[in-house]
Structure 1
Amino acid sequence: MKTLIVSIVLATLATSPAFAISHSYRDKLAKSGCTQVEDAAGTCVNHQAVSDSQTIIKHYDGLKIIWKINESVTVDGKPAAVIESGGYGATWQQGIYKIITYKNHKIAVMKNDQFAGYAK
């Protein structure tokens, strides 16, 4: 009888799901915007330092893009209008430029509806 119980316990342990990362580590990665590979390689830029009320300033080809997170975007001091918003972030338009702001704090620039590059 003991062998049967031990066998059942061992079989249960062997078939239980194994999680690659803990819930707290997964939450940390989700907040930082990094992948597990970036974190392990040490190439993860900590986006946790940027809160939802901070401002990100980036440049692209002479343009100065100021993004007040969850508020507004300006391109060279001129306000941009939100034209689309979704789970990934938002798309803003200012003149011939479309600025795509992502939740991981990247900013893509489109000029005349053509992808131009990422602001740095």
Structure 2
Amino acid sequence: MKLKILTALAFAVVSLSGLARHNQPQGMMPVQPAAQHTLGQYSILPAVQKAQSAKKRTVKGYGITVVISGDWVTVDGKPAALDENNATAKSYSQGLYNIVVYKSGKVALLKQGEGFVGYLK
């Protein structure tokens, strides 16, 4: 009885492993189990991809400092939330401040209760 169950399990494992190999999409190469490949006496390691860092831009004015790095904006070291993103500008908010970063490079400061304060440089 045990021999029949073991035989059935072995057959199922062999069948599934063969099935997995045959159901691989066309044009795909089987993945090597090791991360390191060897070519004669030399070893070929996979390339390491590093993330690109966005350029940081700092603008100051009206007692605050705004750092712009890609889609990330901080006001006096505190992260600002993206409120609106359209073709001409991105609008961020942090506390009482609203920051508008225009595609042309200008950065406008608006304060709650006062409205437009001015442009940051």
Q: 1 or 2, which has the higher strand percentage?
A: 2
Larger RCO, structures 1/2 (Cα 8 Å, 6+ apart)? 1
Deviation at 1:62, TM superposition (A): 1.4
The DSSP-based 3-state class of the residue aligned with 1:104 is coil
Deviations along 1:13-54, one digit per CA (max 9) or x if unpaired, are xxxxxxxxxxxxxxxxxxxxxxxxxxxxxxxxxxxxxxx931
Larger radius of gyration: 2
1:1-120 matched pairs, under 5 angstroms: 53-69=54-70, 71-112=71-112, 114-120=115-121
Which stretches of structure 1, 4 residues or more, deviate above 2 A after TM superposition?
none
Aligned residue pairs total 68
CA RMSD of aligned residues (A): 1.5
Alignment TM-score, normalising by the size of structure 1 = 0.54
Alignment TM-score, normalising by the size of structure 2 = 0.53
Q: Which runs of 5+ in 2 are unaligned?
A: 1-52
Q: 1 or 2, which has the higher helix percentage?
A: 1
Q: Which runs of 5+ in 1 are unaligned?
A: 1-51
Fraction of identical pairs, as percent: 35
